[in-house]
Amino acid sequence: DGIIDPQAAVPPSATIEDVDPVLAARIPTLLNNSNGPPSSSFTAALGSSGTTISGGPDGNGIDWSSSFHGLSTAPFSPETAAILMRPLDPEDVEIKPDGIIYLPEIKYRRILNQAFGPGGWGLAPRGDLVVGEKVVTQEYALIVHGRFIAQARGECQYFSEETIPTAGEGCKSNALLRCCKDLGIASELWDPRFIRSFKKAHCREVWVEHVVNKKKRQVWARKDTDPSYPFQIAK
């Protein structure tokens, strides 16, 4: 009990499975066709997007690639704060095969839309996509009603050159989750006591078989659902 779940520190990095499960199931084939790290021309093209400029609601031309405009200028209204810090519904919480519990990214977006309105918030890149040998990373800033709210670096694994664009989307989603941590959204996910009690009440460990490579392993799943693709209950 003295060991704190690593989830309590930072949100886990995204994976290809989070963005495109069908593509993830094809990864063994992609690995066989891969010729190592992506080409220099490919990574150069990814990093050529340049600086992002956003005018904000008053058209002030703020450079959101570096600005901290509006940081900590005023708290949100009590009504907005109540939406952001609303207790999690256990029915909304999912668990990864490795035992990390999480709230699906789309539900973070729904909470932001409910709190600030569609179009009232956005993610601004704070630099180019950095492509390593196995992971892509990029920093993003969360902007709400023309104010800087939070900044975080997203990361996502990739397995071949053709999966890098998909990993880039996973990287953006991962940064959003980390930025939302500063707003108190789904804060229970970093509370070790909540993590332990949720897994005990709602989750189980089961033996599964990968539908593509047929390898068997033990994974975590919710008690009320079977393991998701690309896994199936082992016979």
Residue 220 burial (10 A CB sphere; 0-12, 13-18, 19+)? middle
* Residue 45 CB neighbour total at 10 angstroms: 11
CATH number assigned to the domain comprising residue 28: 3.30.390.80
- Spell out the alpha helix ranges (H) of 34-163: 40-46, 78-84, 105-116
In a domain, 1, yes or no: no
Residue 172: what pLDDT?
A: 94
Domain enclosing residue 197, as ranges: 6-233
Q: Structural domain tally of the chain?
A: 1
pLDDT attached to residue 100: 95
Tell me which residues of the chain have a pLDDT lower than 50. Answer: 1-6, 8-10, 25-35, 41-42, 45, 48-59
Q: Note the pLDDT of residue 29.
A: 43
- Selection from 133, 107, 111 nearest residue 120 by Cα: 111
Identify whether the C-beta of residue 158 lies closer than 8 Å to the C-beta of residue 168: no
> Would 136 be classed as within a structural domain?
yes
